[in-house]
Amino acid sequence: MLLATPSRLDQTPAPQTQPPSQPAFDTPTFDDLWAEAARFAGEIGSLDPQQAFIRAGMSILLVGAALLALTMLRLVFKAVRERSAKADADAGTVAEADQSEKKRLGGRTMLLARVAVWSCAAFVILGVWGLDLRILMAGPLGDALRVIARIAIIGVLSIAVMEAVEFAITQLFARMARRARDARRAGQLRTLAPVVSAVARNIVLVVAAMMALAEFGVEVGPLIAGAGIIGLAVGFGAQTLVKDFLTGMFLIIEDVVSVGDIARIADFGGVVEEMTLRTIKLRDFDGTLHVFPYSEAQVIHNLTKDFSRYVFDLSIAYSSDINKALGVMAEIGEDLRRDPELGRFIREPLEIVGVDQLADSGVTLKARITTDPGKQWSVGREYLKRIKLAFDAAGVEIPFPHLKLVAPDADIPVRNDPTQGSSAA
């Protein structure tokens, strides 16, 4: 029996049916973009009034939604900024520069948010009117737009995270400062708050920069390893910066000086207005701002740590009664302690040391008074005013230098010696 075998033609595979061709926008050319723009314009021109009215209404709704989103974001940023300013005020931080920096940071955040919201709204509105967005999102142009969009999102989120972290740190340290056991601890916390905020802000900036570089296709891993090596080399080369940072951290941790203290560095003194990662800033009495790197602040004289003292060096004439003068000094000290305004700043009674020096023109009496930190000058000035009036009333003479002028052609007067019969030649 012969079996029927299929012929060679029967073994030929049947042709496969191809799906209908789809428009591909892998690499759109300028002609493709121009053709799509012409089609989009023609479609808009061919719309009937009803369709045009519906699409216009949807566009208006999208614009309104974008405005509403921006308004909500503005209100949120405003509330955060006001609460941050209130926290700084409650903590007693001298942060005028910080507040201006926060306003600039918030302005940049709102600008990026505004650009992102209006860009999204514009793309959606174009889609509503019939523009095929696939041709824009395909090929190198689409890749570039996606990278720009992701970088914009990273920028907005990083700035928002910086503001949120800074606000949280400020609130935390302000609450801790309010609950502190003494004013000194509160001052130390106020000093640490901007330093910790700066560290957190720099960390967020570094992470955001790494993410942005990754969007451009840069390998972050080797970059981090190379940055570590470069950082080590820079650390050896910039030893002064490292020394400034470490010295500043130890000054803050050891509570040598804090924001709000009155300190003297070298020949300059003033209120400690700000302590950053590298510098300490003193505001002088006349408004001059002195900025010292920590490495140059070798010796810091803190005039308001824990308590303060005002030292009096009062001179009286040799002919005055010393015991009477000391009694007047003690009496004025007790009167000042009973003063309703300044007495609450005095911690201890006036301490009279006694006769400190027999000077050329008078006898120097030394005393000191202990006050709250920073109140020694107010108490000292009031005491000096009262002691002058009291010395005048008690007949205690305060000496002052005299100058006698003699004409060139006049004889110099010579005191006669009573033990000699004639005047000294």
Residue 10: pLDDT band (50, 70, 90) is: very low
Provide, rounded to the nearest whole percent, the portion of the chain with pLDDT above 90: 16
- Whether this model's pTM surpasses 0.75: no
How many CB atoms neighbour CB 401 within 10 A? 6
**Domain 308-394's class?**
alpha beta
Instruction: Rank 12-26, 80-94, 173-187, 223-237 by mean pLDDT and report only the highest.
Output: 173-187
Which band of pLDDT confidence, cut at 50, 70 and 90, is reported for residue 137?
A: low
pLDDT at 390 over 70: yes
- 182: how many CB neighbours lie within 10 A of its CB? 9
Q: 360 pLDDT exceeds 60? A: yes
- How high is the pLDDT of residue 227? 61
Q: What is the mean pLDDT of residues 17-28?
A: 47
What's the rounded mean pLDDT across residues 323-339? 92
pLDDT for residue 332: 93
Query: How buried is 88 (Cβ within 10 angstroms: 0-12 exposed, 13-18 middle, 19+ buried)?
Result: buried
Structure-token pair, residue 104: 């600039």
* Residue with the larger pLDDT of the pair 356 and 52: 356
Mean pLDDT in the chain? 75
- Exposed, middle or buried: residue 371 (CB in 10 Å: 0-12, 13-18, 19+)? buried
Beta-ladder partners of 312: 367
Task: Evaluate if residue 425 carries a pLDDT over 60.
Answer: no
Residues 314 and 329: beta-carbon distance below 8 Å: yes
Residue 313 has pLDDT above 80, yes or no: yes
Query: Per-residue pLDDT for 31 more than 80?
Result: no
Residue 329 pLDDT more than 90? Answer: yes
* pLDDT at residue 424, rounded to an integer: 39
**Domain made up of 219-305: CATH architecture:** Roll (2.30)
Greater confidence (26 vs 123) lies with 123
Query: Does residue 218 come out as left (phi exceeding 0), alpha (psi in the -120 to 50 range) or beta?
Result: beta
Query: Where is 354: in which H helix or E strand?
Result: strand 351-358
pLDDT for position 153: 80
Q: Where are the domains of the chain?
A: 30-187, 219-305, 308-394
- pLDDT tens profile 117-127: 887 888 788 77
37/45 Cα distance (integer angstroms): 12
Q: Where are the beta strands (DSSP E) in 26-69?
A: none
Q: Edge-to-edge strand order for the sheet containing 363-371?
A: 308-316, 363-371, 351-358
Among 87-96, 257-266, 271-280, 390-399, name the one with the lowest average pLDDT: 87-96
User: What's the pLDDT band for 33 if we cut at 50, 70, 90?
Assistant: low
The band of 333, judged by pLDDT with boundaries at 50, 70 and 90, is: very high
123-130 CB contacts, 8 Å cutoff, 24+ apart: 124/62, 125/59, 125/62, 125/63, 128/55, 128/58, 128/59, 128/62, 129/40, 129/43, 129/44, 129/55, 129/59, 130/40, 130/43, 130/44
For residue 412, name the pLDDT band (cuts at 50, 70, 90).
low
**Band of the pLDDT at 364, cuts 50, 70, 90?**
very high
Q: Cα angle vertex 314, ends 313, 315, to 5°?
A: 120
Distance CA 367, CA 296 (A): 34
Distance between CA 114 and CA 44 in Å, rounded?
Answer: 28
pLDDT bin (cut points 50, 70, 90) of residue 171 is confident
324 CA to centre of own chain: 55
- Does residue 381 register a pLDDT over 90? yes
Interval 275-302: pLDDT, tens: 877 888 899 988 899 988 887 877 888 8
Measured at the CA of 210, the angle between CA 205 and CA 214, to 5 degrees, comes to 145
- Report d(CA 321, CA 395) in Å as an integer: 9
pLDDT at 200: 83
Phi and psi for 181 in degrees, rounded to 5?
Answer: -70, -30
Higher pLDDT pick, 315 / 44: 315
